[in-house]
């Protein structure tokens, strides 16, 4: 019966918009100008409908129309994703998984194909700590499911590839100023130019400051009546990105830094102390070359150098034994370099072979933890293992309506040995407008240095015996183009099994958090998705995910809502001088790390934009959590709070001008 209900839901989603379109005047609508393209699925450009994956694309236009301020906000428009803020970092939930304290390490984040997860925590930044300003993004490609067959570590639940702007998107200079709630100000500038000698330049940077907001935590009612002053929540960050391209060579560089007050009192530091803060900095340089060796053979090669830095200060006035106050400092430093070489051989008839290799060497993997007053060294570890990999993928077209993909990757880690991860996919055109995709594969997440070695007396303990965790996922996805240019609708069913999940628990023997490999985890779910265009000026999207994630013989995981959904609609004037975007995100009940229950929430956002005169600047106003919903997120093992309140109603107002 459950299977029949799922099939009915799939058929309803695929046919309801079609029935509505037949009842409307076809002349009032037009076809999409061009089907979205994606490069992340196969490391080459292909139409979205032909990609051998459950893929989504968020365009720069959608980022502007909906007023997305962070990568996490944009990803919530994709079925199967939602983001929360623990007042230190923004965390992602993907298809049933959002483990408190995992630093988004089960999602691989790329910028133009460059890996952005750091080599200490495996962390993917998706909030204000992200390496790019949202205005410098051309599109965001999301590939759900295991991606280790092409990308290796961290490509566990999804691969997110952020594609930046280039001079191809227009030359010129732009500047933007914005301000908003909590004393937030931001400046952004970009320049894009193509020179006569063939050199193409794109550069963008931003600077943002937030004075912070006054927060209340009932768990600390004995201190300032439970109120954390705004200064304890203050934040500042900057980003800079540079792209120089000439004659097939491409030099890219990126750097950013974010310093954040720790208002939620992690790690037992003093509540409402503005001196407790953490700084993250992430940078890279990459040189790549794409060249055609002959008409049917393409070589892509790149070399890179990356570095990451973390520095946290924690002030505690409840330390024992005396003295009653202590100051601790955690630092992490990592640097690594590597290379990738890849050949793509076009055998003709859409039969394409991709083979490649990667090598990466860690030069520094330092973690330090010490108490400054009174001084004591608690942790001093330099763990910097190397890795290398080979991978191959064969795309075949045995029939006009059928495309097959077979691939796999062999990774060899100095730390724990080898891992092999295959994938397969079949894409079958049931008709000119309907495509069925059947996919399966495996992925792994290597234990990171933080999970293995971090310890602090009385707060955390290490576990150097951690093993990689492994996932196997099978998925079916059906997509249908709607008549009259209405867009597309899709539905999918996924089934995953995880062995050896690396998760943080509290050891009942001593009450200390520790990362361990848990038993098998099973998840299954249904995703529905529609992207609609009601006219050339009005478009929208809708999505829904229902999932169930459980331990073998146990209950559902914490921070794993059974239901999530989103819907949005945008409209523009024909002149392009004004636009509006309205979006709703809904999340169902879920449990916290401390096993308390969080209520469902509905978040509504509105973004308005207008150009006051034809050649003048663009003005915009974004109002977020418009209904002022009381939305909460789960705390982690490092928090006393079971629930951490999210932003209530807030706004951003800005002015953008292109010269």
At residue 32 the predicted structure's pLDDT band, cuts being 50, 70 and 90, is very low
Dihedrals φ, ψ of 318, to 5°?
-120, 25
Helix residue spans in 24-97 (DSSP H)? 60-66, 71-75
Residue 72 has pLDDT above 50, yes or no: yes
The mean pLDDT value for 468-472 works out to 96
pLDDT in the model for residue 143: 97
Residue 319 has pLDDT above 80, yes or no: no
DSSP class of 647:
P
pLDDT in the model for residue 51: 92
Helix residue spans in 201-254 (DSSP H)? none
Residues 494/512, Cβ–Cβ less than 8 Å: no
Measured on CA atoms in the order 289, 293, 299, 304, is the torsion positive or negative? negative
pLDDT in the model for residue 100: 66
Q: Write the DSSP assignment of 415-477 as a string of letters.
A: TTEEEEEEEEEEEEESSSSEEEEEEEEEEEEPPPHHHHH--BTTTB---TT---EEEEEEEEE
**Helices and strands, counts by H and E, the chain:** 5, 40
374: preceding bond cis by omega (within 30 degrees)? yes
The mean pLDDT value for 561-572 works out to 96
Residue 23, Cβ density class (10 Å: 0-12 exposed, 13-18 middle, ≥19 buried): exposed
Dihedrals φ, ψ of 75, to 5°?
-65, -25
Coil, strand, or helix at residue 209?
strand
Residues 383/401, Cβ–Cβ less than 8 Å: no
CA-closest candidate to residue 566, choices 583, 578, 547, 589: 583
- The token pair that represents 300 in the structure block: 């892509």
Residues 373/327, Cβ–Cβ less than 8 Å: yes
pLDDT in the model for residue 509: 86
Residues 628/656, Cβ–Cβ less than 8 Å: no
pLDDT digits (tens, 9 = 90+) for 249-259: 999 999 999 99
Residue 547, Cβ density class (10 Å: 0-12 exposed, 13-18 middle, ≥19 buried): buried
Q: What angle do CA 395, 158, 470 make, to 5 degrees?
A: 90
pLDDT in the model for residue 21: 34
At residue 20 the predicted structure's pLDDT band, cuts being 50, 70 and 90, is very low
At residue 507 the predicted structure's pLDDT band, cuts being 50, 70 and 90, is confident
pLDDT in the model for residue 13: 36
Residues 605/583, Cβ–Cβ less than 8 Å: yes
pLDDT in the model for residue 510: 86
CA-closest candidate to residue 157, choices 509, 540, 444: 444
CA 187 to chain centre: 24
Q: Write the DSSP assignment of 587-619 as a string of letters.
A: E--EE-TTS-EE--EEEEEEEEEEESSTTS-EE
- Alpha-carbon radius of gyration of the chain: 24
pLDDT digits (tens, 9 = 90+) for 162-185: 999 998 777 789 999 999 999 999
Residues 277/295, Cβ–Cβ less than 8 Å: no
pLDDT in the model for residue 415: 82
Measured on CA atoms in the order 311, 314, 319, 322, is the torsion positive or negative? positive
Beta-sheet pairing, 107-111 with 158-164: parallel
Phi-psi region of 161 (alpha: psi -120 to 50; beta: other; left: phi over 0): beta
Please count the residues of the chain: 659
pLDDT in the model for residue 224: 81
pLDDT in the model for residue 14: 38
pLDDT digits (tens, 9 = 90+) for 339-396: 999 999 999 888 999 999 999 999 999 999 998 877 888 899 999 989 999 999 999 9
Residue 318 has pLDDT above 90, yes or no: no
pLDDT digits (tens, 9 = 90+) for 611-635: 988 888 999 999 999 999 999 988 8
Return the number of other C-beta atoms located less than 10 Å from residue 184's C-beta: 20
pLDDT in the model for residue 595: 83
CA-closest candidate to residue 66, choices 644, 616, 484, 604: 604
| 99: containing domain | 2-658
d(CA 90, CA 109): 14
CA-closest candidate to residue 156, choices 104, 113, 110: 104
d(CA 216, CA 223): 11
Return the number of other C-beta atoms located less than 10 Å from residue 414's C-beta: 12
List, in order, residues 6 or more apart from 557 with CB less than 8 Å away.
96, 97, 99, 521, 549, 550, 551
Residue 598 has pLDDT above 80, yes or no: yes
The mean pLDDT value for 14-42 works out to 49
pLDDT in the model for residue 267: 63
pLDDT in the model for residue 6: 40
CATH number of the domain where residue 172 is located: 2.40.170.20
At residue 421 the predicted structure's pLDDT band, cuts being 50, 70 and 90, is very high
At residue 312 the predicted structure's pLDDT band, cuts being 50, 70 and 90, is very high
The total number of structural domains that make up the chain: 1
Dihedrals φ, ψ of 267, to 5°?
60, 20
CA-closest candidate to residue 147, choices 447, 448, 478, 441: 441
Residue 8 has pLDDT above 60, yes or no: no
Lowest-pLDDT range, 88-102, 118-132, 559-573?
88-102
Strand extents, DSSP E, 211-248: 215-216, 227-228, 235-246
């Amino acid at each position: 019966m459950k299977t029949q209900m799922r099939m009915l839901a799939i058929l309803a989603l695929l046919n309801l918009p079609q029935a509505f379109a037949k009842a409307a005047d076809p002349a009032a609508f037009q076809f999409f100008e061009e089907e979205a393209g994606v490069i992340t699925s196969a490391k080459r450009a292909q139409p979205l409908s032909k990609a051998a994956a459950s893929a989504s694309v968020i365009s720069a236009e959608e980022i502007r129309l909906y007023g997305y301020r962070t990568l996490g906000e944009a990803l919530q428009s994709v079925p199967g994703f939602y983001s929360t803020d623990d007042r230190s970092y923004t965390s992602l939930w993907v298809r049933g998984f959002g483990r408190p304290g995992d630093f988004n390490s089960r999602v691989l984040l790329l910028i133009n194909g460059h890996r952005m997860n750091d080599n200490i925590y495996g962390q993917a930044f998706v909030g204000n700590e992200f390496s790019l300003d949202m205005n410098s993004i051309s599109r965001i490609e999301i590939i759900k499911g295991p991606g280790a067959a092409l990308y290796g570590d961290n490509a566990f639940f999804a691969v997110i590839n952020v594609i930046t702007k280039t001079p191809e998107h227009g030359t010129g200079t732009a500047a933007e100023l914005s301000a908003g709630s909590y004393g937030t100000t931001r400046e952004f500038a970009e320049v894009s130019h193509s020179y006569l000698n063939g050199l193409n330049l794109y550069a963008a940077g931003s600077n943002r400051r937030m004075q912070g907001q006054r927060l209340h935590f009932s768990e600390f009612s004995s201190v300032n009546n439970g109120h954390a002053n705004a200064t304890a929540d203050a934040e500042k960050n900057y980003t800079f990105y540079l792209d120089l391209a000439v004659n097939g060579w491409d030099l890219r560089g990126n750097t950013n830094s974010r310093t954040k007050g720790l208002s939620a009192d992690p790690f037992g530091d003093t509540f409402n102390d503005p001196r407790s803060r953490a700084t993250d900095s992430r940078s890279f340089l990459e040189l790549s070359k794409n060249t055609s060796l002959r008409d049917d053979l393409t070589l892509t090669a790149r070399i890179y150098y990356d570095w990451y830095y973390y520095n946290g200060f924690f002030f505690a006035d409840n330390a024992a034994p005396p003295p009653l106050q202590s100051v601790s400092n955690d630092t992490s430093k990592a640097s690594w370099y590597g290379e990738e070489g890849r050949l793509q051989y076009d055998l003709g008839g859409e039969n394409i072979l991709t083979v490649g290799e990667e090598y990466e060497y860690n030069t520094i993997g330092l973690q330090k933890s010490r108490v400054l007053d009174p001084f004591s060294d608690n942790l001093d570890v330099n763990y910097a293992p190397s890795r290398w990999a080979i991978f191959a993928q064969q795309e075949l077209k045995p029939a006009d309506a059928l495309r097959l993909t077979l691939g796999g990757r062999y990774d060899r880690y100095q730390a724990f040995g080898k891992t092999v991860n295959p994938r397969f996919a079949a894409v079958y055109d049931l008709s000119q407008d309907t495509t069925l995709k059947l996919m399966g594969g495996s992925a792994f997440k290597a234990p990171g240095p933080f999970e293995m070695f971090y310890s602090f007396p009385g707060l955390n303990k290490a576990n150097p015996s951690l093993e990689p965790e492994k996932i196997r996922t099978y998925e079916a996805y059906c997509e249908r183009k709607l008549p009259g240019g209405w867009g597309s609708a899709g539905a999918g069913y996924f089934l995953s099994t995880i062995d050896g999940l690396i998760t943080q628990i509290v050891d009942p023997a001593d009450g200390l958090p520790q990362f361990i490999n848990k038993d098998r985890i099973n998840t299954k779910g249904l995703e529905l998705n529609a992207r609609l265009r009601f006219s050339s000026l009005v478009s929208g999207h809708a999505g829904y995910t229902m999932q169930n994630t459980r331990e073998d013989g146990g209950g559902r995981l914490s921070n794993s809502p059974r239901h999530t959904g989103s819907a949005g609609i945008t409209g523009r004037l024909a002149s392009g001088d004004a636009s509006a975007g309205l979006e709703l995100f809904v999340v169902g009940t879920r449990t916290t790390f401390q096993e308390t229950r969080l209520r469902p929430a509905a978040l509504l956002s509105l973004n308005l934009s207008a150009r006051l005169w034809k050649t003048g600047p663009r003005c915009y106003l974004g109002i977020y959590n418009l209904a002022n919903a009381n939305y909460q997120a789960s705390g982690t093992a490092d928090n006393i709070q079971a629930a951490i309140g999210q932003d209530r109603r807030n706004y951003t107002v800005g002015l953008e001008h292109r010269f």
